[in-house]
Amino acid sequence: MIIGGILKHYCEYCGTKLNHKITALEKRDQYEYNASDFYMIVECMGCTSLSYRTQKEDYEEWDYDDSGHQVPTTSIERYPNVLAKHQIPENLHVVPERINTIYHECIKSFAAECLILTAAGFRALIEEVCKDRGIRGDDLSKKINKLRDNRFISPSEATRLHSIRFLGNDSIHELAVPTKIALNTVLKIIDNLLTNMYILEYEAKRDLITAVTDIRSLLKVIDLNIRQLIIGNSYTLKGLMGTDLRLITEDVKAYDRLLQNAITEGKFPKLKFHFVPKDDNPNEQTTYYTIVSNKSDDF
């Protein structure tokens, strides 16, 4: 190994293993044992970014490379740590700040191979998503079922989450050391969860909806919003619309009636409705809409 020499190294910016040039190098031989440590700064020959690499070579324990040649047993450490082959979902900034913070801490901790901390972080992240969606309780396993029942995750994703035992332990003292394969599965499910629950909704609204001008555009907004609400719970029109209520620029009550007509005529079977007399004036009523289904297919 020499300054100016070329080696294969993972580039976090190019997202793959590429040729890197050694730009700085220090070698230390071990005392009374045939092994050497190489400390180096390497430059990506694709994007010119720099990273740090330690390569430890043991000349007393031999190994074979892909072409069957004998090579010294080698271990590699690098900085910054990266999760090779993992892409952080685009537009992650739209997820609630606390979830976003936990996510990034999990990625750093996983890249640094702190597997127990990563597992605890993933668990905290799933708990936080449940809290954000109004799913309460102490038992993570029941909360995973509620995520599934409300179609935030698919039944097969829920089964995979359940099968990962360390996530089901309610006491941190019982946390088993998880494998990287299991953590990769959880990360994939979490990436899907955040994409389905927050990012796609954000992109759909940004790209599709500018204002509610008729029953069709109203149903489109409600269809997007109820995916984040709980099946069986009842909401007023305001509750269904959330901050999107501002998209209705005309008489809100008129849209309340339009929505009731659409449900009565069977045009929007994902909701049913009932009336409740107002506390301060029993002659007037508030309409509550109960979520029957919040599947993401088109109505």
Piece of the chain touching Zn ion by CB under 5 A; list 3-11, 25-33, 51-59, 88-96: 3-11
**What is the C-alpha to C-alpha distance for residues 250 and 242, in angstroms, rounded to an integer?**
16
CB atoms within 10 A of CB 232: 10
User: Helix, strand, or coil here: 76?
Assistant: strand
Strand blocks (E) in 120-238: 234-235
Assess 276 for contact with Zn ion (CB under 5 A): no
CB 43 within 8 A of CB 4: no
Q: Nearest approach, Cβ of 46 to Zn ion (angstroms)?
A: 4
Q: Nearest approach, Cβ of 83 to Zn ion (angstroms)?
A: 16
Q: Nearest approach, Cβ of 47 to Zn ion (angstroms)?
A: 3
Give whichever of 44 and 102 is closer to Zn ion, judged by the CB atom.
44
Q: Nearest approach, Cβ of 12 to Zn ion (angstroms)?
A: 8
Q: Nearest approach, Cβ of 153 to Zn ion (angstroms)?
A: 34
Q: Nearest approach, Cβ of 105 to Zn ion (angstroms)?
A: 25
CB 36 within 8 A of CB 53: no
Assess 6 for contact with Zn ion (CB under 5 A): no
CB 102 within 8 A of CB 121: yes
CB atoms within 10 A of CB 181: 7
Give whichever of 14 and 71 is closer to Zn ion, judged by the CB atom.
14
Assess 46 for contact with Zn ion (CB under 5 A): yes
Considering only residues 47, 76, 88, 211, which one is a binding residue for Zn ion as defined by CB under 5 A?
Answer: 47
Tokens 């080696």 found at? 7
Q: Nearest approach, Cβ of 54 to Zn ion (angstroms)?
A: 19
Q: At what angle do helices 180-194 and 115-132 cross, to 10 degrees?
A: 20
For residues 10 to 39, the per-residue mask of contacts with Zn ion, x marking binding by CB under 5 A and - elsewhere, is: -x-xx-------------------------
* Rounded (to 5) percent helix, strand, coil in the chain: 45, 25, 30
Residue type, 223: D
Considering only residues 22, 42, 44, 218, which one is a binding residue for Zn ion as defined by CB under 5 A?
Answer: 44
Piece of the chain touching Zn ion by CB under 5 A; list 44-52, 56-64, 79-87, 267-275: 44-52
Token pair listed for 53: 């690499």
Residue type, 47: C
Give whichever of 87 and 249 is closer to Zn ion, judged by the CB atom.
87
Report which of 110, 117, 133, 244 is spatially closest to residue 181, judged by C-alpha positions. Answer: 110
Binding residues for Zn ion (CB under 5 A): 11, 13-14, 44, 46-47
